[in-house]
Amino acid sequence: METVFISSGIPDDLRERLAKRYRVVDVPEGTTEGFAAYGEPAGWFMDGGTPVNAAVLAQLPTLRAVSNHGVGYDSVDVPAATSAGVTVSNTPEVLDNAVAELTLGLILALGRGIVKYDRYVRDGSWEREWPPYTNDVHGKTLGVVGMGRIGRRLAELVQPLGIEVLYHNRSKNPAIDESGVATHAEWEDMLQRSDFVSLHTPLTERTRGFFVKEDFDLMKPTAYLINMARGAVVNTDDLIAALKNGTIAGAALDVFEEEPLPASHELLTLDNVIVQPHNGSATVETRRAMVALGIENLEDMLEGRRPRTPLNWDDIHSS
């Protein structure tokens, strides 16, 4: 019976499903050495808290498949895995609705001051004076950076609010353009026109730290930034400066360069920031669907079948 490493939470029934065909071994999240104590794995079910790089792969010569539980896979060195003949998959698609829903919630929370007004009531300010007005969200402009599946679902969700959606990718998306839910815009034009800018890009060498002071300077002083991508996509120091000096009105962040975010972090001292604990996909239904897809992918790869959502299957099996 082949061994499968598990480094991510998994419901009992799905664990039992795996255990019928494989020896299932729990390996602590973040493990990078000492694998001999756990056995020789054929597969590994893990999430973004576990790095899989060339050094790790060199210690696991029997490994054939890595199933990443999550859409982001920046913790996996896919080229190194490909060189080692290890197939890799992730779990997109099933989380599109959940992430888009939270993004919409953050747009409303920022625009209508929902979190700010909650604090206003709790600290007794309402007893002293009437709260300041916010602005309508209806009729505003949303800029989506990275118009993939989540970006498209978000664009669909905001349509009833009469929000104009602009998007910027490296190239136009014909399907989006034809759908009418969003319009492609050049980078500077999108930033200058948008009342909300929502980030949905993967973390790559190209996108790491790409949103900087010059980009904040292009935004309206009444505009908001929402980061649902990865914390490292935005230069945190430049973000804090933009929030403190009024370059932008505020931000909502589900992701951070350091996670968990320390309670002493400067971002938490700012009243114009809404923070979330990287929970864009954290609903019971979505997380179960993600795990189920990840297990399905792992089983397919170990049985020599193309997984439903592969990352490098074609690169390895093209010949």
For the chain, which residues make up each domain, given as ranges?
3-94+284-317, 96-275
* Element housing 4 (H / E): strand 3-7
Residue 316: closest CA among 1, 2, 85: 85
Please state the rounded mean pLDDT for residues 177-194: 97
Phi-psi region of 101 (alpha: psi -120 to 50; beta: other; left: phi over 0): alpha
Residue 41: closest CA among 53, 30, 26, 20: 26
pLDDT tier at 170, thresholds 50, 70, 90: confident
The token pair that represents 43 in the structure block: 């597969």
| Tens-digit pLDDT profile for residues 283-313 | 999 999 999 999 999 999 999 999 999 999 9
Q: What is the DSSP letter of 135?
A: -
Among residues 188, 214, 258, 259, which one is catalytic?
Answer: 259
Specify whether the CB–CB gap between 31 and 7 falls below 8 A: yes
Specify whether the CB–CB gap between 66 and 310 falls below 8 A: no
| pLDDT score for 319 | 58
Among residues 193, 230, 296, 299, which one is catalytic?
Answer: 230
User: In degrees rounded to 5, what are phi and psi of residue 133?
Assistant: -75, 155
The token pair that represents 66 in the structure block: 């890595």
pLDDT tier at 119, thresholds 50, 70, 90: very high
| pLDDT score for 318 | 80
Active site includes 259? yes
Among residues 200, 278, 296, 299, which one is catalytic?
Answer: 278
Of 55-59, 113-117, 118-122, 315-319, the range with the lowest mean pLDDT is: 315-319
Specify whether the CB–CB gap between 169 and 193 falls below 8 A: no
Query: What's the CATH fold of domain 3-94+284-317?
Result: Rossmann fold (3.40.50)
Please state the rounded mean pLDDT for residues 93-111: 98
| Average pLDDT for the chain | 97
What does 211-243 look like in DSSP terms, one character per residue?
A: B-HHHHHHS-TT-EEEE-S-GGGB-HHHHHHHH
- Mode of pairing for the β-strands spanning 141-145 and 196-199: parallel
Coil, strand or helix at 149? helix
For residue 248, pLDDT beyond 90: yes
The answer to whether domain 3-94+284-317 and domain 96-275 are alike in fold is: yes
Coil, strand or helix at 147? coil
Neighbours of 312 (CB within 10 A): 19
| pLDDT score for 49 | 87
Could you give the C-alpha distances from 117 to 59, 68, 131, 140, in angstroms and in order? 53, 39, 8, 21
**How far is 190 from 145, CA to CA, in rounded Å?**
9
CATH number of 96-275: 3.40.50.720
Residue 254: closest CA among 229, 276, 287, 224: 276
- Mode of pairing for the β-strands spanning 273-275 and 250-253: parallel
User: In degrees rounded to 5, what are phi and psi of residue 251?
Assistant: -150, 155
User: 12: Cβ–Cβ under 8 A, 6 or more apart, which residues?
Assistant: none
pTM above 0.85, yes or no: yes
For residue 20, pLDDT beyond 80: yes
Query: Residues in the chain, how many?
Result: 319
Q: 23 burial class (0-12, 13-18, 19+ CB within 10 angstroms)?
A: middle
